[in-house]
Amino acid sequence: MLLKIVQAGEEVLRRQARALTWEEILSEETQQLIEYMRETMHDAPGVGLAAPQVGLPIQLAVIEDREEYHAQVDPARLAERERRPVPFHVLINPKIVFTDSTSVEFFEGCLSVNGFSAIVPRARAVKVEYLDEKAQAQIIEASGWYARILQHEIDHLKGTLYIDRMHARTFMNVENLTRLWKDIPIGEVRTKLGV
């Protein structure tokens, strides 16, 4: 079943989501929600989806960066972004416990700010503690694009959107991003846009 993805302006996207209990995580309802969120993320298509994006103020997100999404990206841009496939997994009650001091900037979009993109600075690497869909404690150490996805989805659980972190001068619709800036190195884009 596909869920409706809410758009910027909805209150749920700006609220701190609540943590799930062990019992809630293992409930049939939450397990079904995870599957629906996975289907919705694939249909969008996206690489991550947080529960607030489907109208639920709970600390749950799904992530998967499928190899097929990389086929349309210039290999030089994949390398620049340190982007590699990421298998499907579920984050519940996640906490970023380490952030690399190295900041990297790339265009970022969001299924809840549909049709737009902007350059967003993020930490190059992070360490995240979370519970999986079986309520088991897990730790991820991620770098590159995967670290960006994790930061983006965890921001959703805190009521933060990428537009709160973006370089405002780089905000544009996806059509213009694709037509004008898609294959240009990010440093050159920043220079041309006066960032």
> How many beta carbons lie within 10 A of that of residue 111, not counting itself?
20
The set of residues, in sequence order, having a beta carbon less than 8 Å from that of 166 and lying 6+ positions away, is 108, 118, 119, 120
The number of residues making up the chain comes to 195
Both structure tokens of 84 = 């590699």
Tell me the pLDDT tens digit for each residue of 133-186: 999 999 999 999 999 999 999 999 999 999 999 999 999 999 999 999 988 889
Q: What is the CA radius of gyration of the chain?
A: 16
Average pLDDT over residues 118-127: 98
* Domain covering 11-193, topology: Peptide Deformylase (3.90.45)
Domain ranges of the chain: 11-193
Tell me the pLDDT tens digit for each residue of 75-88: 988 999 999 999 99
Residues catalogued as catalytic? 153
Q: How much of the chain exceeds pLDDT 70, in percent?
A: 100
| pLDDT at position 74 | 85
Q: What is the pTM of this model?
A: 0.95
CA pair distance 32, 88, nearest whole angstrom? 15
Q: Which of 52, 59, 49, 54 is nearest to 24 (CA)?
A: 59
**Tokens 């694939």, residue located:** 42
CA pair distance 48, 175, nearest whole angstrom? 21
Q: Which three-class secondary structure string do you get for the chain?
A: CCCCCCCCCCHHHHCCCECCCHHHHHCHHHHHHHHHHHHHHHHCCCCEEEHHHHCCCECEEEEEECHHHHCCCCHHHHHHHCCCCEEEEEEEEEEEEEECCCEEEEEEECCCCCCEEEEEEEECEEEEEEECCCCCEEEEEEEHHHHHHHHHHHHHHCCCCHHHCCCHHHCEEHHHHHHHHCCCCHHHHHHHHCC
